[in-house]
Amino acid sequence: MATKGNNILHKGIPSIKDAFIIIIKTEWNNAIVNKLETGAKKILQQQGISTKTMIVPGAIEIPFAIKQHYAYSKKIPDAYIALGTVIKGDTPHFDYVCKFTTEGILQLNLSLDIPVIFGILTVNDEQQAIERIGGKHGHKGEEAAITALKMIALNRKLNNH
């Protein structure tokens, strides 16, 4: 796991021109998710990247929203960033939500020709989430944005060969 001050992702951020990224975020745990979005947008704005945010009810709905946007939008982005926070409770619901969301995003990465970045926190409690939005485990929203930039650069390089 990356920790604050020891994050290899922050090294070598590519300079991307004319990119557009869609952030899909959940309504659940919005105090945490909004901070993930703020961190992602901070990095993207520093790089001059335009963004649009879409909101879905929960994490399981993220893959559907991405699939539908990709299929029917007139403006396809260079990447999608999925942001959410799933906090473990007393039932197995947490396990199902994490599994289905992860598998959905994996399927999108294997079927779409643009990257879908997994910026969803899956934590045992709220304190662990707080540690990942600028605490001792860095800022996962910022990391998701940096990952998106690196994947856009890679995708453009691969498509130009």
Q: Would residue 130 count as lying in a domain?
A: yes
pLDDT of 25: 98
For the chain, what is the domain count?
A: 1
- Residues of the chain under the 70 pLDDT cut: 1-10, 161
Q: Would residue 99 count as lying in a domain?
A: yes
> What pLDDT, in 10s, does the model give residues 34-46?
999 999 999 999 9
Contact 26, 57 (CB under 8 A): yes
Q: Would residue 2 count as lying in a domain?
A: no
Q: Would residue 9 count as lying in a domain?
A: no
CATH code of 65's domain: 3.40.50.960
Which active-site residues does the annotation give? 93
Q: Would residue 3 count as lying in a domain?
A: no
- Sign of the alpha-carbon torsion through 68, 74, 76, 77: negative
Where in the sequence is the domain holding 129, given as residue range(s)?
19-159
pLDDT of 1: 40
DSSP string covering 90-126: SSTHHHHHHHHHHHHHHHHHHHSSS-EEEEEEEESSH
Q: Would residue 120 count as lying in a domain?
A: yes
